Structure 1
């Protein structure tokens, strides 16, 4: 329930010539997303909130999350952007906490997934 069909499409692009394709994409996603989370954290620490800047960061984060099929993260990002558009600071803060939880949960699930793949593949 954490991933959508986009992740399956990534898996289908993986082949013998590039057996670590999905893992590389996910690793790249986590490198980028950690940076974006830090940017959003810093923006949320400044008052009054710059909703336009927050929305821009979240737009990037949502896009990279959807590129790996992170369904739950994407849904929370959409909610965050609605709060930004409405100028609801408390909603942004609460939703961002959910985003970070979903992001961490997905990371654990993907790490387990890649460990299972590598042990199944005998690498």
Structure 2
């Protein structure tokens, strides 16, 4: 026996309100920027899961980039700052494209340290 339709509608409205509050917090904290809003504007009836799909791709690719960066940093004889810079440029670009402002900012600082061959940085 399922829930009455009116209760399902109320649940959807509540989820949307919760999502709106969460997004407002993320914008206020600087985690997201206006690029995320532009991404949302690309979603329509023909692609109702567009934002979710793009964010899932971002997370999947970010996981690979972070794994690669970690591997480089764990190498005691590490000296390939150019390769690190390539991964960071990719990470900055994908973070910028979805509005992940705080991640992009960390990548900028990380890349600056990399360009100075500053492993500790």
- Coarse TM-score class (shorter-chain normalised): 0.7 to 0.9
Structure (1 or 2) with the larger CA radius of gyration: 2
TM-score (norm 2): 0.73
Identify the range of structure 1 (45-54 vs 59-68) with the bigger mean alpha-carbon deviation.
Answer: 45-54
Q: Indicate the residue corresponding to 1:28 in structure 2.
A: 57
Deviation at 1:87, TM superposition (A): 1.0
Unaligned ranges ≥5, structure 1: 92-123
Root-mean-square deviation (Å): 0.8
Distance 1:66 1:24 in 2: 16
Q: Which consecutive segments of 4 or more residues in structure 1 shift more than 4 A?
A: none
Aligned residues: 91
TM value normalised by structure 1: 0.71
